[in-house]
Each structure stands twice: as C-alpha cells, then as structure tokens.
Amino acid sequence: MACLKLQAIHEARLFEEERRLQGQDSGIAKDIADEIVSFSHTVLKDVRRLEALYEKVIQFCFTRYVGAPWVKEGDDSMALKDTRAALESAFPISGLRSLFGLTPRERFRHLEELSCIVLGIRIFNSLVGSGTALCLPDPKNLLTLHSPDLPLSIEQEIEEGEKQIQELVKILLHSPVLLAKAGSETAEQDLALISAQHIYMTQLNAYRRALLTAFLHTRHHLKEAVSECSSEIVGVGEQLNSQPYTSRDDVFPKFSRIAVSYRKAFQENEKLCSLNCLVAFLASLAGEHTLDVASNVESACRRVHGIFASVGQGDQEECRGVRSAENAEKERDDSEVERPDGEPPREFDGKFELGGNCAWCLAKYAALVPADRSIAAISYGGDAYAFSTLRGAKEFAQHPDRLLSDIRQQIRRQPALIHLLNLDRLYPR
C-alpha cells in the first residue's frame, strides 16, 4: 500500500504541475483570433469597423501572453500600451488589407507570427533601455534563482538509498538458508516486511533518479534559451546600429526568434520551479513513510541477523558461501542449463524482461535483485530473462511456467512492481 500511495500521489502531483504549465496560454486570445479571421472583406470599406478590427488585433497580441510566467499582476495597462506601440511600428492599420488576402488558416498563422514579433519588439526595447512603458524581466536573472546544490543533495539521497537497498538485498539473498534453519513464522513475516521495504526503496530511488534527470535537462534547456535570447538581442542591436533603415523582412524574423527564446526560457524556469516542488514533496512523502515503518524494518533486520547468528558457524559459512559457490560453479560450461526454447547459449544484446532484475529472486522473494550479466540469459515465450544465481537459472530452465506464475502472484501482491518493471503493457489500467 505504501508503494501504491507513493506512486499515486507522485503521479497526481506531476499531472497537476503539467496541467498548470499547459494552462498558461490564454483561451481568450483564441476567441479573439477567431473573430478576426471571420471578418468579411466589407470591413475594409468602413473606417470605424476597420479601426475596431485593428483594436481586436491589439487585444489579440496583448492577451496572447497574458498568462505568461513573466507577466505580473497590475501590469495590464502598461503592457497594453507597450503592445499598441510595438504593433503600430510593425503592423500599421493599413496592413489589414494584406491580411484579408489570405485564407482563414493563413490569417491565423499570420496573427500568431505577428504576436511573436510584437513581443520580440517589446523585449528588445525593454532590455536595451528604449524607454518603454513596462520593463520586462531580464531572462539572465533566471539563472540565479535555482540553487546548484539541489542536484547534489538528490544524488546523495540516491546513494544513501542504494546503500539501504543493497543491505536489504543481502538479507533477501540469504533468506533460503535462514528460513530452512529457523523455520519460524516470525522469520517469514520479517522477510516479507523487508521485501516490501526493498520494493518501496527501489521505487523511491527510481523517482529520485527521474527527477534528477529532468532537473539537469531542464536547467540545460534554460541556459540554452537564455543564451539564445541574449544573442538575438545583441544581433538585432548591432544590425539596427549599423543599418538604421533595415528591411522589415530582415529584422522581423529576428524579433520573432527573440520572443520564442524568451518565452522558452521562462517556461523552462517554471518547469524547474515545479521540479523543485516535486523534489521537496517526494522528500516529505518519503520521510513520512520512513517514520512509520523504519522501526519495524530495523527490528525485523535485527531479528533476521539474530537468526543468522544463532544458526551456528557452519551455517553462517553456508549462507555466506552461497554466492561464492555459485560463482565457482558458474565458471563451468553453462551448456548444462537447458533453455526451454532450445536456444543455444549466446551473449544477449537486447533488453531483459523485469527491468534486468533476477527472475528467480522476484518469483521466490519479491526482491528486485540486479541480474548477473555473466550468467547466461534464458529465452522463453519470446522474452529474455536474466538471473543473479546459477541455481535460479537452472530452476527457471526446469520449471519456467511455475516460476512465471509465481512472479505474477508476487506482482498481484505488490502492484507497484508493474510500474517499476515496466509491465504496463501486460497489466493495463
């Protein structure tokens, strides 16, 4: 249940953040654009209607970015004044005649491009100090808003999580001998609790890695967008200074690129803010779970270690020697592992089922133990399965259907494994 809660709450929070980012574009602008596109040619014969149409174009360019992340409350009047001045310099009212020579779809594209040009002019005038009514924020400041220590802290959490996972894996790998020697119901319950905690920690670390990757990629995209925007502004400034009468066809595409890169920079910044919230949320959620079960898991580990200490020196050596004995046996010719499909031993160069984890450990103990790639994989039913022990590979080769049935039972007990092992295609929601 803890795994399902972690997955459900995390995915719901991620969906909310994505929906919030997607909802920044104004739907009002789309309605205004539809009105402009639907105007008939008769409006060109009426000056008042033509002026009203031009006001609609101004409103479209203004509302197109009214929900943008750089817009602050209370800036509407100054932003509208800026938009009007930029539009009049780029697209005077006489330009409406050329607009009606286009098809409805081309008109809409022209309006979209015009809104980008107007925004680019506003950004350029604001950042080069041309005395506009509204000073738009400099995208360079976005680079200083996010602490560079966050990725390092996530990496440390991942490393600590991996250590805990490895400790749990060691216990689970010894569980056959421990259960055989102890044979108590308490030992089985302890191992079940440790197995559940192992799955939870594995899932938690998977989310941490995903957030770390997304954070690093988004920060890189932010730097690229800021650099591109700054370069375009410098390029336009140099061109205007060297050529006071620059052609609109030459400079307008550059204004459009300024707007695109500027908007992308603020969108990437919003994504980084969302990722910061998700990282903090994941940490708090993991902390709540740790407080609830840490003492129980620690007690279970102590009891298991107590059983391990009580079974005697010879049995301890048996526990510790399981892996070494299998490694020695593995060095023999692995042709003795008969594959259900009758395939000859070969080096596997594709993807393993179950996320590359040992199929035998998953079937027996619901443990996600990384497979040993030096042990030959087994193909069955068109899928390749890997193993962490030669014993597991042999048992799978002898009874593949039984072990696959055990795996399905483990997945039913721990539905979070569907997400962790990328088995959504087999268990659709």
pLDDT tens digit sequence for 108-119:
888 889 989 999
Reduced to 3 DSSP states, what percent helix, strand and coil does the chain have, rounded to the nearest 5? 75, 0, 25
- The model's confidence at residue 411, banded by pLDDT at 50, 70 and 90, is confident
In what helix (H) or strand (E) does residue 79 lie, and over which residues does it extend? helix 76-90
CA-based max dimension of the chain: 103
Q: How many CB atoms within 10 Å of residue 183?
A: 10
What per-residue confidence (pLDDT) applies to 6? Answer: 60
142-151, 152-161, 173-182, 233-242: least confident range: 173-182
| 310-331 confidence digits (pLDDT tens) | 544 444 444 444 444 444 444 4
Could you give the percent of the chain with pLDDT greater than 70? Answer: 71
| 58-99 confidence digits (pLDDT tens) | 888 888 887 777 777 666 788 888 888 889 888 888 888 787
2-6, 28-32, 241-245: least confident range: 2-6
Q: 94 or 16, which is more confident?
A: 94
For residue 36 the two structure tokens come to 């402009």
Average pLDDT (407-423) is 76
Average pLDDT (275-299) is 69
Domain 144-310, second-level architecture: Up-down Bundle (1.20)
Q: Which of 116, 107, 108, 124 is nearest to 257 (CA)?
A: 116
**Residue-range domain boundaries for the chain:** 25-66+71-136, 144-310, 354-426
- The model's confidence at residue 219, banded by pLDDT at 50, 70 and 90, is very high
What per-residue confidence (pLDDT) applies to 256? Answer: 92
Measured CA to CA in angstroms, residue 409 lies from 41, 212, 289, 362, 365 at distances of 70, 33, 25, 10, 11
Average pLDDT (229-252) is 84
DSSP summary character for residue 378: E
- The model's confidence at residue 360, banded by pLDDT at 50, 70 and 90, is confident
Angstrom distance (rounded) from CA 319 to CA 343: 33
Extended strands (E) in 306-386: 378-380, 383-385
For residue 115 the two structure tokens come to 């809104």
Spell out the residues 6+ positions from residue 57 whose beta carbon is closer than 8 angstroms to its own: 36, 87, 91, 96, 111, 114
What per-residue confidence (pLDDT) applies to 413? Answer: 76
Q: 129 or 235, which is more confident?
A: 235
What per-residue confidence (pLDDT) applies to 255? Answer: 92
Q: Which of 90, 96, 117, 118 is nearest to 39 (CA)?
A: 96
Angstrom distance (rounded) from CA 204 to CA 354: 17
What per-residue confidence (pLDDT) applies to 221? Answer: 92
Helix (H, G, I), strand (E, B) or coil at 184: coil
Please state whether 118 falls in left (phi above 0), alpha (psi between -120 and 50) or beta. Answer: alpha
Average pLDDT (292-300) is 58
What per-residue confidence (pLDDT) applies to 47? Answer: 85
Angstrom distance (rounded) from CA 389 to CA 356: 13
What per-residue confidence (pLDDT) applies to 342? Answer: 43
- The model's confidence at residue 428, banded by pLDDT at 50, 70 and 90, is low
Is residue 387 predicted with pLDDT exceeding 90? no
8 A C-beta contact, residue 156 and residue 205: no
8 A C-beta contact, residue 139 and residue 124: no
- The model's confidence at residue 258, banded by pLDDT at 50, 70 and 90, is very high
Q: How many CB atoms within 10 Å of residue 181?
A: 18
Q: Which of 194, 201, 150 is nearest to 174 (CA)?
A: 194
Is residue 305 predicted with pLDDT exceeding 70? no
What per-residue confidence (pLDDT) applies to 192? Answer: 73
Residue whose structure tokens are 């750089």: 70
8 A C-beta contact, residue 61 and residue 83: yes
Angstrom distance (rounded) from CA 290 to CA 8: 18
Spell out the residues 6+ positions from residue 347 whose beta carbon is closer than 8 angstroms to its own: none
b vs e for 130-140, b when ≥16 Cβ sit within 10 Å of the residue's Cβ? eebbbebbbbe
What per-residue confidence (pLDDT) applies to 62? Answer: 84
What per-residue confidence (pLDDT) applies to 261? Answer: 93
Extended strands (E) in 169-325: none
2-16, 81-95, 230-244, 260-274: least confident range: 2-16
Is residue 385 predicted with pLDDT exceeding 80? yes
Q: Which of 307, 293, 300, 294 is nearest to 176 (CA)?
A: 307
Is residue 140 predicted with pLDDT exceeding 60? yes
What per-residue confidence (pLDDT) applies to 117? Answer: 92
